[in-house]
Amino acid sequence: MEIQSLKDKPEKKVKTFPYKGKNMTVKDVWIKWLSQAGPDSDSPDYGLRYFRIGPKGEIPIHKHFYVQTMFILKGVSAVYRHDEETDQKVEERLVGPHDFIFIPSMEPHSMINPSENEDTEFLCCIANVYEEEHV
């Protein structure tokens, strides 16, 4: 068992995120890794992360192999699901404290903090998924 404090974890600014061979610009987003398990530290089998998005900050369109659940702690954000072929936004939802969002593997999505003066804070739990023959 490990017991730690959020305040003791280092915070790293996220500057870009890859999508379809391009590095997409991330605006005013910070991450703290709270826990992770598995051999790859960049994309572990399991991870719990704390995110902070500054006012008008943005996580651009992206997708990933792992599944994730985000639990909103503070602030309001617009979360978008994108069409896999065209990248167009096909669903928008406003989320706030105690809302949670499940993102399936490889589903394109993005997130914006529309506030002029308040951060959005959320926990993000990730877990890699594998084909049955690899388990």
What six digits make up the tokens of 17? 């995120």
CA distances from 71 to 53, 76, 119 (A): 14, 12, 15
Architecture of domain 13-129: Sandwich (2.60)
Stated pTM of the model: 0.91
| Cα-trace Rg, the chain | 15
- Residue 91 CB coordination number (10 Å): 10
Q: pLDDT tens across 3-55, in order? A: 999 999 999 999 999 999 999 999 999 999 999 998 776 667 899 999 999 99
User: Closest Cα to residue 53, out of 78, 33, 27?
Assistant: 27
